Structure 1
C-alpha cells in the first residue's frame, strides 16, 4: 500500500491520492471516449477563455505559482489551465493513451492538476511531499534533466516523481504496458479537499472502463 507523507504543509500544499490496479492501457473502449468528450463539452459550456484566469480555482493555483513555486503562471501555466485553454480554443484534448487521456478529462472537469504514475516503476511504497535537496536531479517528461534547488517534489527513495504541482518524471511515466496506476491530485490553499477527492473518485470510474480496480480508499496527505 502506497503512503504519501506531507512534509510541506506549511506551504498549503496537500494531495488526494489513490491506487488503481489492472488497467488496460492499449485500447479505447467507446464508453471512455464518450466520457472524455462529455468532459470537453461540459468545459466548453460552463467556462470562458476570456475569464478562465479569474475562476477562483484557477486563481488559487496561479497564486500558489507566484507565492510558493516562484514561477510566472502566464509563462508556465498550471497544467489544468493549459489543457482548458486548449479545449476552450476549440481544439481537442491530446490523444496520448487511454489512462493519460482519462486523467486529462478529470483534470479539466474538476480544474485540478492530476499526476499519474506507473506504480511498477516507483521505488518503494513510502513517498514524501518535501522540499528538494540541493543537487538532486529531476528527469521531466519531454525535457532535459534539471538540477533542483529548493523546489517542492514528490519523491520516493532516491527518485523524484513530480515537481509540485506541474511536471512529472519520465522515470515513472505511464506507458502502453502500464497496469497499476498511482493517482495524485494536487491541492493548494483556496481549493476544497472535496474537489480533489471527487476528481480521484471520478478517475476511478474512468479507469473502471479500462478494467481497473481501486485498492482501498482515496487517501489524503
Structure 2
C-alpha cells in the first residue's frame, strides 16, 4: 500500500512532512492499566499547565494552526485534533479510555502536540493520497456527525475520504478485531528528517511493545 502527497500540498507548504507506520499482526485489547494511568496522569499535569498557559501557546499547536490557515481552513472553527483534545482537558473534560490502539494514539498526539490517526488496513481500498478537501469532501466521523472537509487535509482511497488531522471517519476505524493497522503521523513542518524518522520509529517501538506484532516506517517530506 502506497501513501503519496498531492502536489498541491507541497506547493502550499514545501516543508510538509508525514510519517507512516505500518503494523502487522498486532493485538488490540482493552488498554492495560499502565496505559490508562499514564494517559490520565498526563492529562492531569496538562490541566494544571493550562491554568497558566493558553492552548495556542504550545509550539506544536501554534505550528499546526498556521499550517491550517495556509490550506484555507479556519482553525477557530475546525481545529486540529490534538488542539481539540487540549481544549477539552483545559475544561477538565478528560479523554476517556476506549481501547489500546486509540488510547495510545491519543497519548502520543497529546505528548508531541501533533495530529495523528490510526486506521484498519483491512478497511482501506487501494493506495492512499493525502490531498486538500473540496466542497464535496465529507464523511461520517468518529464524532458521530457528518464532517465537511473543504480546505482540510484528507486521506483518500478509491472509495473516497477516510481520515484527516481534524477527525477520522467511522469507515476505517481500528477496533479490537484489527490485526494490521496504519498509523499516520502529521509531523510539524519544522522537524528535521532525522528527528522525524527517529520520532516515528520511537512511536512504532512503543506501540508494538503493547500490541505485539511488527512495524515498518516511511518518512515522506
Output the TM-score relative to the length of structure 1: 0.80
In structure 2, runs of 5+ residues without a counterpart are none
- Return the match for 1:58 from 42, 58, 61: 61
Please report the TM-score for the alignment, with normalisation by the length of structure 2.
0.80
- Alignment correspondent of 1:174: 174
State the alpha-carbon separation in 2 of the partners of residues 157 and 45 from structure 1. 44
Change over 3 Å in CA distance of 1:48–1:195 after alignment to 2 = farther
Q: What is the distance in 1 between the residues matched to 2:47 and 2:149?
A: 37
Aligned equivalents of 1:65 and 1:118: distance in 2? Answer: 26
Q: For residues 120-199 of structure 1, what are the structure 2 equivalents within 5 Å?
A: 120-124=122-126, 126-132=127-133, 135-146=136-147, 151-163=152-164, 165-193=165-193, 196-199=196-199
Q: Are 1:6 and 2:14 counterparts?
A: no
**Superimposed CA distance per residue, residues 159-212 of structure 1 (whole angstroms, 9 cap, x where no aligned partner):** 21223x212111101122122211001135445556654553343244224333
Distance in 2, Cα, partners of 1:197 & 1:38:
27
Question: What is the CA–CA distance in structure 1 between the aligned matches of 2:146 and 2:88, rounded to whole Å?
Answer: 27
- Gaps (5+ residues) in structure 1? none
Q: Secondary structure at the match of 2:210?
A: coil
RMSD: 2.9
Contact 2:116 2:185 in 1 (8 A): yes
**Cα distance, 1:113–1:147 mapped onto 2, change above 3 Å:** closer
Matched length:
217
